[in-house]
């Protein structure tokens, strides 16, 4: 574990080729924020699985990138003279896919790595590793480019003097860099606009207060932290002009899974006639899942609700329901900001048109 130098560009997932013997995946440990800025080095697939599962790396795009590099790390666990490397790729992908069930970017990235391995045929271990590492780099670089494009596509939704409400963390920490929902914020700020971002604390793990507020403060964005249950009052006081969140999986009809509490904000926004936007790359769309009722929702440990940062806040024996995500119906979403443009209104036809899909429903990747 090493301290990280403060940098204007946050890169929570990166490959360090200088770490012996083959290089390693380096992750910013987000469970340590905002107190400490430290990294963890992953040189086995188990460590990457644990990092995804325990939220040391989190955010749909970021865990997809981490998993892609995880395939290379899994290959490094075999012998360089092992000519059966291809039979090892599938089990590594299956193993990493079991880390978390909801964010579709994880499966999208792993399927892309599987297909690349299949294309390599009977190449040597060395050639295969070089090609798969290049594919993982490409996934990372494409994600960063998509985030920048999302920012350009949606920055105009944030007017000068506006109040922007966001939930959980959909910034650089959740992606390769720059972010999805926060990409709009950063791009609007780069254009000289002044506005306030209201950050929901996001119980139970406080990704809003621990991560988003920290990230926005680093960028010197005017930020106000609020409790989750303050959103309605802020809307009634007309302090919120637009709500923008990220997404972990978007079904073919536009129903969107995101951090628990997002659905509540969409209902409140509709009641107060405030536009509600999702910002997500095309890799977050799951065109094989027809609607939100079919999206698997992760259940997390009860201790996350019974405690706050390790301190007990409830009886240890009380029953807990701890769904990590909820699903916002497409009818409550004003638009989805993608690297290809804004999908508005949100329906099957517009989704397929903006994303450039064929008539037949097929996966994005």
Same domain for 72 and 163, yes or no, is no
Q: What was the pLDDT predicted at 81?
A: 63
Active site residues: 248
* Residues whose CB falls within 8 Å of the CB of residue 50, separated by 6 or more in sequence, listed in order: 56
Asked if 155 and 233 touch (Cβ cutoff 8 Å), the reply is no
pLDDT at 124 over 50: yes
260: domain CATH number?
A: 3.40.50.10470
Same domain for 49 and 10, yes or no, is yes
Q: What was the pLDDT predicted at 88?
A: 85
Q: What was the pLDDT predicted at 119?
A: 93
Across 305-330, average pLDDT: 96
Q: What was the pLDDT predicted at 123?
A: 86
Q: Which of 37, 99, 49 is nearest to 77 (CA)?
A: 49
Using one digit for the tens of pLDDT, what is the confidence trace for 40-52? Answer: 999 999 999 999 9
DSSP letter (8 states) at residue 5:
P
Using one digit for the tens of pLDDT, what is the confidence trace for 168-208? Answer: 999 999 999 999 999 999 999 999 999 999 999 999 999 99
Is the pTM for the entire model greater than 0.75? yes
Task: Using the 3D structure, point to which of 99, 119, 148 is the last residue of a domain.
Answer: 148
Q: What was the pLDDT predicted at 78?
A: 74
Is 235 contained in some domain? yes
Percent of the chain residues past pLDDT 70, beyond the cut: 94
Task: Using the 3D structure, point to which of 85, 118, 148 is the last residue of a domain.
Answer: 148
pLDDT at 165 over 50: yes
Q: What was the pLDDT predicted at 122?
A: 81
Same domain for 157 and 144, yes or no, is no
Average pLDDT of every residue of the chain: 93
pLDDT at 3 over 60: no
pLDDT at 272 over 50: yes
| Cα 341 from Cα 313, distance rounded (Å) | 44
Q: 202 is in which domain, residue-wise?
A: 152-355
Is 363 contained in some domain? no
Is 172 contained in some domain? yes
């Amino acid at each position: 574990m090493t301290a990280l130098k403060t940098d204007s560009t946050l890169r929570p997932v990166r490959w360090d080729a200088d770490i012996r013997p083959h290089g390693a995946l380096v992750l910013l440990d987000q469970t340590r924020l905002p107190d400490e800025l430290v990294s963890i080095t992953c040189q086995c697939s188990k460590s990457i699985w644990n990092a995804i599962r325990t939220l040391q790396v989190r955010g749909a795009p970021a865990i997809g990138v981490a998993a892609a590099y995880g395939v290379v790390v899994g290959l490094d666990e075999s012998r360089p003279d092992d000519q059966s490397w291809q039979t090892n790729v599938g089990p590594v992908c299956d193993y990493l896919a079991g880390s978390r069930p909801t964010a579709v970017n994880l499966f999208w990235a792993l399927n892309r790595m599987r297909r690349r391995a299949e294309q390599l045929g009977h190449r040597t271990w060395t050639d295969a590793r070089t090609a798969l590492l290049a594919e993982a780099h490409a996934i990372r670089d494409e994600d960063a480019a998509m985030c920048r494009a999302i920012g350009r596509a949606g920055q105009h939704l944030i007017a000068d003097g506006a109040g922007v409400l966001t939930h959980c963390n959909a910034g650089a920490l959740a992606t390769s860099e720059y972010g999805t929902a926060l990409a709009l914020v950063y791009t609007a700020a780069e254009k000289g606009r002044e506005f306030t971002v209201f950050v929901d604390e996001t119980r139970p793990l406080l990704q809003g207060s621990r991560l988003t507020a920290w990230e926005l403060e680093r960028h010197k964005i005017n930020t106000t932290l609020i409790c989750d249950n303050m959103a309605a009052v802020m809307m009634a006081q007309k302090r919120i002009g637009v709500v923008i969140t990220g997404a972990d999986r978007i079904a073919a009809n536009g129903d969107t899974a995101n951090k628990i509490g997002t659905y509540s904000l969409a209902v409140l926004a509709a009641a107060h006639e405030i536009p509600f936007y999702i910002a997500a790359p095309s890799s977050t769309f799951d065109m094989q899942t027809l609607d939100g009722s079919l999206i698997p929702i992760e259940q997390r440990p009860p201790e996350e609700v019974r405690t706050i940062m390790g301190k007990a806040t409830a009886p240890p024996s009380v029953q807990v329901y701890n769904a990590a995500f909820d699903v916002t119906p497409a009818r409550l979403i004003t638009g989805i900001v993608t690297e290809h443009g804004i999908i508005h209104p949100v329906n099957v036809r517009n989704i397929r048109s903006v994303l450039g899909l064929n008539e037949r429903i097929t996966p994005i990747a």
